[in-house]
Amino acid sequence: MNVIESHGLGKCYRGTWALRECSVAIPSDHVVALVGPNGSGKSTLLNLVVGLAAPTVGTLAVLDGITPGSPEALDAIAFVAQDTPLYRNLSASETLRLAQSLNRHFDRISAEARLAELGIPLKWKAGKLSGGQQAQLALTLALARRPRLLVLDEPVARLDPLARSDFMATVLQAVSDDGVSVVLSSHVLTDLERVADYIILLRDGGVQLAGEVDALLDSHRVLTGPTVEAECYSDHPVIHAQSGRTQTHLLVRATATNPVPAGWETHRVGLEELTLAYLREPGASALPGPSRAVSSERPNEVRCPR
């Protein structure tokens, strides 16, 4: 089952494409990292997924064919927005009561228990909580809805490292306990490396990199050797090259038919290193193969309506 699937998806605001020609399929039972440069369409895609916006062109379905924004989708998807919006003058207890009145399946008992575990007093007003506590309160509201899909848009951008770690730990616990699928947009690559097992990199509204993290890391290597010998890799699938006067570092796709030459060193690439390499090389692409979950085909040009 795909928790998110789009074909030729585009969204236009005031004559400008915020997202265009985006075809993607995000599988269930994963923590999916959605990454990309500013303006690549990450937040727009997530807003479309949760029903806060409607597509200008293309198709989009969630949870194996459900229309975003429909009553069925609203019951099954929880969303934590970028600025973790809360009513600052309401206490945590009042916030839970309000959420319970707006959601048919809200589990207030588990929400209160989670806040107690986090040391967040129910009587404190949201505006008096720290940034980390506010983020945890927003996440608690989302999880108490017992969603099948949890969508997080830059939820830790304003948090310090300890608060980010605690937030991510809560997300992973929910995945383990409740089997919820997660799509997480973030620029903090070190955090994504710790929690994500699937990654999608957006650029200019299209998918540049997609796949299970372990498979992508296994299929890439960083090679280090003499700069004067770097040309020997002209026939290899080089993603990114960084050359100094004496040594060159190459991030390449590892294949059995392209052995490492004598005198060169190789090491396994990390998720942050891999992602940065693709961000630096707009023309590079790594998409699933024969059973591809993502299509790189682009539809005919569509004029953005004004």
Tell me the pLDDT band of 11, cut-offs 50, 70 and 90: very high
Q: pTM for the complete prediction? A: 0.86
C-alpha span between 257 and 60 (Å, rounded): 39
Residues 134 and 169 grouped into a single domain: yes
Residues 108 and 185 grouped into a single domain: yes
- For residue range 81-132, what is the model confidence (pLDDT) as tens digits? 877 789 999 999 999 999 999 988 899 999 999 999 999 999 999 999 998 9
The identity of residue 303, as a single letter, is R
What's the number of domains the chain is made of?
2
Residue 20 lies in a domain: yes
- Residue 262 tokens read as 């004598």
Residue 287 lies in a domain: no
Q: What one-character DSSP code corresponds to residue 127? A: G
Residues 93 and 136 grouped into a single domain: yes
Residues 163 and 188 grouped into a single domain: yes
Residues 12 and 67 grouped into a single domain: yes
Q: Does residue 134 carry a pLDDT above 50?
A: yes
Say if CB 212 and CB 197 are below 8 A apart: yes
Helix (H/G/I), strand (E/B), else coil: 296: coil
Residues 142 and 272 grouped into a single domain: no
Residue 288 lies in a domain: no
C-alpha span between 197 and 34 (Å, rounded): 11
C-alpha span between 114 and 116 (Å, rounded): 5
When comparing pLDDT for 262 and 161, which is higher?
161
Q: For the chain, what is the mean pLDDT?
A: 86
What is residue 200's predicted lDDT score, i.e. its pLDDT? 92
Say if CB 168 and CB 195 are below 8 A apart: yes
- For residue range 139-183, what is the model confidence (pLDDT) as tens digits? 999 999 999 999 999 888 778 888 888 888 989 988 888 889 999
- For residue range 93-103, what is the model confidence (pLDDT) as tens digits? 999 999 999 98
- Residue 179 tokens read as 């089997």
Domain that holds residue 234: 219-280
What is residue 281's predicted lDDT score, i.e. its pLDDT? 84
**189-193 — which CB contacts under 8 Å span 24+ positions?**
189/35, 189/271, 189/272, 189/275, 189/276, 190/272, 191/156, 191/164, 191/165, 192/33, 192/35, 192/271, 192/272, 193/270, 193/271, 193/272
